[in-house]
Amino acid sequence: AQTVTQSQPEMSVQEAETVTLSCTYDTSESDYYLFWYKQPPSRQMILVIRQEAYKQQNATENRFSVNFQKAAKSFSLKISDSQLGDAAMYFCAYRSATGTASKLTFGTGTRLQVTL
């Protein structure tokens, strides 16, 4: 079974600074997707960014980018120019690319605080 590990329960960053959230995973599969989801205080899960395992190029979405190291099974999220609205729980997630009903496996989450 796949596992996703987020070793940082809490992180803090100053507004306008950059922060990196860590995620490692364990799988024997070669084809899969990785995701970062944001859960603000409203509890609505929001997709931040996704990465296909077969792509070597790291995904980028505006201020959000990932460092995907397939051999190391590492998938970190970098938030640049942090904003107060970035404060939330961030979950790393894994999903097999096999089958349309494949499940998301979530990490335990990292709570990000953004300070002035």
Partner 1 sequence: GAVVSQHPSRVICKSGTSVKIECRSLDFQATTMFWYRQFPKKSLMLMATSNEGSKATYEQGVEKDKFLINHASLTLSTLTVTSAHPEDSSFYICSARVTSGIYNEQFFGPGTRLTVL
Please report, as ranges, the residues that interact with partner 1 according to CB under 8 A. 33, 42-47, 50, 91, 95, 100-101, 103-104, 106-109, 111
CB of 106 to partner 1, least distance (A): 5
| Least distance in angstroms from the C-beta of 49 to partner 1 | 12
Which C-beta is closer to partner 1: that of 15 or that of 103?
A: 103
Cα 42 from chain centroid?
19
**To the nearest whole angstrom, how small is the minimum distance from the Cβ of residue 16 to partner 1?**
27
Non-local CB neighbours of 79 within 8 Å, separated by 6+ positions: 13, 18, 19, 20, 21, 63, 64, 86, 112
Rounded to whole angstroms, the Cα distance separating 51 from 81 reads 21
Alpha-carbon distance 112 to 50, whole Å? 19
| Nearer residue to partner 1 within complex by CB, 86 or 90 | 90
